[in-house]
Structure 1
Amino acid sequence: MSQSVETRESEASAERRSRFGDWNATATHHTPAEDAQAILTGVLLAALGLAILAHLKFLTGGVAGLALIVSYVFGINVGVAFFLINIPFYALAIGRMGRAFTIKTFTAIALLSIVSYFLPDVFSIAYIDPLAGAVIGGLLVGFALLALFRHRASLGGAGILAIYLQDRFGFRAGLVQLAFDLTILTIALFVVDFAAVIYSLIGAVVLNGFLAINHRPDRYLAT
């Protein structure tokens, strides 16, 4: 009987660890300092990518895209909108992804909200070609998400669900995000002009294609 209890406890412990609840036993074995560096880098890259897209009045997918829509419609700072929209997704992170993932994701979201709020005071764009902006903005956000995903964090929203579905069922995170992105871009048809939607779609394809190629569950198993 005691052996059976110990077995169940061992299985439960393994399940918790698989949901990234143990800081020292994640699949990538990163230290807290390495996680901090990746989160900061990812946040800065994402903020720059979103700044380019916002300058061109383009959109992106997921909660970031929804935050841009709210920003355009209501005139709310995109960083504030991003933080507020992400609040409901914390329940999924806590219930499904574990403590470490939730803490790192919350930190990334809070930092991105703060950086996006103050970025216009220190960074401005005079001109950027729309196609170049869509591609560069998509790549920057893609690099940001890759850095965060590899350190078991995300920028909330669809990213949380994308990582959960990839780890639980093997679905590609990039393809899951693409489905959400297409939904957001459909909503965008009612907010921005058609040309902006086309450029936004190009940026979303670049972003999620980059993730689909570079973020796979059978790769990047650091020891």
Structure 2
Amino acid sequence: MRSAAVPTKNNPLATAHTLKDDIYGLALGVMFIAVGLNLLKFSGMVTGGIAGIALLISYYLPLSIGLLFTLVNIPFLVFCYFSMGRAFTIKTLIVSITLGLATQAVPMLITISYLHPLFAALVGGTFIGMGILSLARHNASVGGTGGVTLWLYRRFGINAGKSQMALDALVFLLSLIKMPLLLLLWSALSALAMNAMLMNWHKPGRYQGGDA
């Protein structure tokens, strides 16, 4: 079983992903993002996109990041269904639920006694960017603003990293209400690390076997 219509005008030699490829790629994406989110949460940071929105709300409400991630994602999943299609939305829904569970499981599997904010920002942001990239290469996203940026990329050719960075700016403006400036600057570094992955690697024709 293979993903349909993978070769594109920009990458006519691309070969379709098998079901095994998709499962492995989506699992890697979920793993990277879950670890990255917990690194940022431990340091009290936020980041961009739907992950940043969930993290920010978690500092106001006594709910887990995983649950908030799923709840905040609902309106964005509706958008994905009408703009990106049924297959993309189903994969994204599965990713959203799995990521919510994985994000809650990570603190039960590892214990961190000290974490430098520079490490948390760079590694946490990079992990999240790697996860988003892995999902995008297998026709899925974490939902939220990630689905919007992929739609902008496919519809208008706007670089996913650049559009994501613009949307992230809105999250950080809201974060100013709650967070100290220094912590917000560390958080901005994490978003820069995350978006650097997308700006450098999410490009037409970079890989064979991808949808983007």
**Alignment match, 2:62:** 75
TM-superposed CA distance for 1:99, in Å, is 1.6
C-alpha distance in structure 2 between counterparts of 1:78 and 1:64, whole Å: 9
Q: Do the aligned residues in 1 keep the contact of 2:47 with 2:191 (CA within 8 Å)?
A: yes
Extract structure 1 runs of 4+ deviating beyond 4 A: none
Structure 2 gap ranges (5+): 8-13
**Alignment match, 1:123:** 110
TM-superposed CA distance for 1:193, in Å, is 1.1
Matched, 1:113 2:100: yes
The residue type equivalent to 1:26 in the other structure is V
Q: Which secondary structure does the structure 2 equivalent of 1:83 belong to?
A: helix
Alignment of 1:25-104 (within 5 A): 25-27=5-7, 29-104=16-91
Q: Do the aligned residues in 2 keep the contact of 1:170 with 1:217 (CA within 8 Å)?
A: no
**Alignment match, 2:10:** none
TM-superposed CA distance for 1:149, in Å, is 0.7
C-alpha distance in structure 2 between counterparts of 1:222 and 1:113, whole Å: 27
Identity of aligned residues (%): 36
TM-superposed CA distance for 1:75, in Å, is 1.9
**Could you say which structure has the higher helix fraction?**
1
What is the aligned-residue RMSD (CA, Å)?
A: 1.4
**Alignment match, 1:9:** none
The residue type equivalent to 1:35 in the other structure is D
Q: Which secondary structure does the structure 1 equivalent of 2:59 belong to?
A: helix
Q: TM-score, normalised by structure 2?
A: 0.91
TM-superposed CA distance for 1:124, in Å, is 2.2
Q: Do the aligned residues in 2 keep the contact of 1:167 with 1:217 (CA within 8 Å)?
A: no
**Alignment match, 2:11:** none
Q: Which secondary structure does the structure 1 equivalent of 2:60 belong to?
A: helix
TM-superposed CA distance for 1:98, in Å, is 1.2
TM-superposed CA distance for 1:192, in Å, is 1.4
TM-superposed CA distance for 1:219, in Å, is 2.4
TM-superposed CA distance for 1:107, in Å, is 0.9
Structure with the greater alpha carbon radius of gyration:
1
Residues 36-87 of structure 1: CA deviation (Å, up to 9, x unaligned): 1111111011000000000000001111111011111112100000000000
C-alpha distance in structure 2 between counterparts of 1:23 and 1:208, whole Å: 26
Q: TM-score, normalised by structure 1?
A: 0.87
C-alpha distance in structure 2 between counterparts of 1:75 and 1:195, whole Å: 24
Say how many residue pairs are matched: 202
**Alignment match, 2:3:** 23
C-alpha distance in structure 2 between counterparts of 1:108 and 1:35, whole Å: 11
Residues 145-184 of structure 1: CA deviation (Å, up to 9, x unaligned): 1101111110001110111110110000011111111110
**Alignment match, 2:181:** 194
Would the alpha carbon gap of residues 215 and 209 (structure 1) be closer, same or farther in structure 2, given more than 3 Å must change?
A: same
**Alignment match, 2:156:** 169
